[in-house]
Amino acid sequence: MENIEISVIIPVYNSEKYIVKCLDSLEVQSMKDIEVILINDGSTDQTKELIEEYQRTHNLKIRLYSRENAGQAAARNFGVLQAQGNYIAFLDSDDYVEPDYLQQMYETARHYQSEVVTSGYRTVKPDGTVLQTTCVSSFGEVTDYGRPGMFVVWAKLFLRDFIIRNQFQFPEGGKIYEDVPFSLETKFKGKNVKAISYIGYNYVQHESSTMSSSKVKCSRFPFDKMEAAIRD
């Protein structure tokens, strides 16, 4: 049976401009015991065809699932159920990572027996221009917990058994910031959460990003799930 250490879960929706660069960054990872789970969330452009072509022409282990559009949270929840790796990493389809990204995260998780490892990230333009660099472990190479404000689910590595055992899920139903309650719960309930000074995730900002101002409506915030995560 093939050994898989990390399952990388990527929801994709109309990502034809970015998905190839995203996959290229995973194909050149120094860590090879990985699988990439792509959930095509009802794309209406050429995203699905590009992924299928990539499967035919590259060696990256890809599992592609196509579903009716149900949102990023539902796609991530579905991806978790398909994952076979000992660890899970989430990646947005328009972002990309440095070649040693998964290796750095994995080695930290293994060394400290961590349920969650958080790294820093760069906010970049589509052409790679760096807009901002965010470090989550400013006072040491490895620290406990990390910055409280790091509530995104990417730039993290999770122990899969920890997620399954605690039945952590993303709130579905067209919400934004749906990764906040997930990140809160995993940070608060993890007994050994680590943050590292390493920065290897590139968060791409563009006009059609999920968090563009036109899409940020108060009614779409999962306030009930955030409150429950804090209360519990």
Torsion angle defined by CA atoms of residues 176, 182, 184 and 190, in that order, rounded to the nearest 10 degrees: -170
| DSSP character at residue 203 | E
Look up the pTM and report it: 0.88
> What pLDDT does 208 receive?
65
Mean local confidence (pLDDT), 93-108: 98
Higher pLDDT among residues 92 and 183, named by residue: 92
**β-bridge pairing 142-144 and 87-90:** unpaired
Lowest mean pLDDT among 24-38, 82-96, 100-114, 187-201: 187-201
Instruction: Measure the N-to-C terminal CA separation of the chain; round to a whole number of Å.
Output: 39
- Mean pLDDT (whole number) for 149-172: 91
**Cα distance between residue 39 and residue 36, in whole Å:** 10
Per-residue pLDDT, 145: 61
More confident call, 119 vs 146 = 119
